[in-house]
Amino acid sequence: MPNPVVRWQIVAPDAAATTTFYQKLFGWSVSQDNALGYRQITTGGDGIDGGVWPGPAHLERPFVQLFVEVEDIDAAVTDATKLGASVIVPKSVLPDGDAIALLLDPNGMSFAVCTRPRA
């Protein structure tokens, strides 16, 4: 199985303002109809959808995280740590059934590995 980027996420202290900016600029659709009140972004066309998550007020700079789909999160986390990554948030199952783990690569950039519920 390839490991595609299936989602992206902007983490910003003012999630509402960030969402409004991109919605007005690009015409993206926004929904918070989920258990976490997460701002889900639909980009349209062939684009990859994403979201905006509120970061802490003291966050120095907003950033973007890529979500990479993997077959086995535990194995991906093990492989990543062997290559120098560190775990920020261990494997967690979200209310919608997705599972994720957040990591820092050896350069300090955060990313997520994820699985989606199988139909």
Domains and CATH numbers, the chain: 5-115 (3.10.180.10)
Q: pLDDT tens for residues 36-94?
A: 878 999 999 888 999 999 988 898 899 999 999 999 999 999 999 999 999 999 999 98
3-class secondary-structure state, position 74 = helix
Beta bridge partners of 86: 104
Under a CB-based contact definition with an 8 Å cutoff, are residues 105 and 111 in contact?
yes
CA–CA separation, 92 and 9 (whole Å): 16
CA–CA separation, 114 and 11 (whole Å): 17
Angle (CA) 102-86-77 rounded to 5° is 60
pTM for the predicted model, two decimal places: 0.85
